[in-house]
Amino acid sequence: MQIAETGIPGVYVVEPKLLVDERGSFFESVRTEELGRIVGEPFVPRQINYSVSRRNTLRGLHSVTIPPGQAKFVSCVRGALRDFVVDLRVGSPTFGRYESNLLDDATGRAVYIPEGVAHGFLALTDDSCICYVLSSAHVPGTQIDIDPLDPDLAIPWGFTELPVISPKDRSAPSLADALSAGTLAEWRPRRA
């Protein structure tokens, strides 16, 4: 597998090596020891979640306060997603910047998202299923939600009709409002 850092420090794209034959395909999604070596800290799964979405469903942008913090390893196990991450770490050289990747079940591409970075996606197919491997269990009251349609972020989701969005995501604060509230994490450069 290849693991490459994106333009946002600490966010990595994982490209598995597909083994294909007449039966179908096989790939390793992640080796946590290798991922931890590359990202500079251990990634120990504590919770695994799945969500299934119909085409044109927009979920996010979500993060978690520090503490407890939560790193994520996300992949699409069925269908296709336009996946986005947004750097919410105050003081980061890429604060407020986004990166996008296409995640689908054919390639097995995945994204590692460190603590302090928000995540969201647009389902491109009906019955799309995303898998979240999380470094911490859910703690009520610690989620940070950012308006996925915040005009200051100007994320190019690529929908051609109004997307399906939950009331919680629709009413989430802008990045500027979240910054004013003081709940965003501080930037911590990677340990050498």
- Catalytic positions: 62, 132
User: Which conformational region is residue 74 in: left (phi greater than 0), alpha (psi within -120 to 50 degrees), or beta?
Assistant: beta
As to burial, measured by CB atoms within 10 angstroms (0-12 exposed, 13-18 middle, 19+ buried), residue 171 is exposed
β 24-26/19-21 pair status: antiparallel
What gap in Å lies between CA 138 and CA 143, rounded to an integer?
9
**What contacts 109, CB < 8 A, 6 or more positions away?**
13, 14, 15, 16, 75, 76, 101, 102, 103
Question: In the structure encoding, which two tokens stand for residue 64, read together?
Answer: 């978690």
Question: In the structure encoding, which two tokens stand for residue 52, read together?
Answer: 């299934």
In single-letter form, the type of residue at position 56 comes to: N
- The 3-class SS string of 136-149 reads CCCCCCCEEECCCC
Upstream peptide bond of 173 is cis (omega within 30 degrees of 0): no
